[in-house]
Amino acid sequence: MTVLSPNPTPTSAPSAGVRGHHRRRRTLNGLRLAGIALVSAVFAAPLIWMVLAAFKTNVQIGNPADAVVFTPTTQNFRNVVSEGVFLPAMLNSAIVGIVSTVLSALIAVPAAWAIGRFAMQRAGNWVLIARIIPAVSLLVPWYYLFARLEMVGGYTVLVLSHMFVSVPLITWIMIGFFSGLPAELEEAGRVDGLSAFGAFRRISLPLAAPGTATACVLALVFSWNNFMFALILSDESTKTLPVALFNFMSYASVDWGGLMAASTLMSVPVILAAVFGQRYLVAGLTAGATKG
């Protein structure tokens, strides 16, 4: 009597396939990490150079031998603060940025809710057109208009000029966010006796807090970094940080050490806001990407 043994189960082929899959996965992960490192290095290189140059003398900045290894100095930072121009300019930037962002949010957030909730597509297109128009093309008529009104050099003209960009920016971001909120939530509030605006204020606005924070931060960063508006429409008492940095450049020379130190100090608030608010910024930017 012959006993038939069961067919042997091939184990080598699946294990080889699994090993090949893991090998390909490790290769893809390595390539992905290499790509991320390359992109990060490209974007971080100017920032690293700026910070290093802030602790160098002008001679060291121009010497390739002192690119990485050098004797640091804090004289550039002391000069920037002691000149008495940087701190008032920082205060001006904070005033203009905060006021323009708050006023823009008060106008843009309700407008975005109305456009998104009531499907006002044409109004949304007009907002997009306002975003496309180069703001620099309006500097000449703005200067002529505000000069006739004797407003050039004050905070009001700077706030209004920044709002021209901030209002469409916040509106365009928030339209997608409000469109993604379920309409049934507001309908339930209307059933309970809320008006349309009451449903917006009590239901939609709290839910849109991450998106509102994101839009306001982006508007504030734009205002903080804006150079052209303040250069044309401000005076010595209201000039902002980007204009103050321009003082380190002259016709014959450039104080690279002072310029890099001032640029480093100017970048610190924006970097801190990005580091500590990264989670909320990402949540706000991605929340309006889906509907339902």
Q: Give the CB-side neighbour count of residue 176, counting CA atoms within 13 A.
A: 17
> Does domain 82-288 match CATH 2.30.140.10?
no
Segments making up each domain of the chain, as ranges: 28-72, 82-288
Q: Is 72 exposed, middle or buried (0-12, 13-18, 19+ CB in 10 A)?
A: exposed
Residue found under tokens 């008495």: 84
Check: pTM over 0.95? Answer yes or no.
no
One digit per residue, the tens of pLDDT, for the chain of length 292 reads 455 555 555 544 556 667 777 788 888 888 899 999 999 889 889 889 999 999 998 888 888 888 888 888 899 899 888 887 888 999 999 999 999 999 999 999 999 988 888 777 777 778 777 778 887 788 888 889 889 988 888 899 999 999 988 999 899 888 888 887 888 888 888 888 888 788 888 888 888 888 888 888 889 988 998 888 888 888 888 989 998 888 777 776 788 888 899 999 998 888 887 777 666 666 655 554 444 4
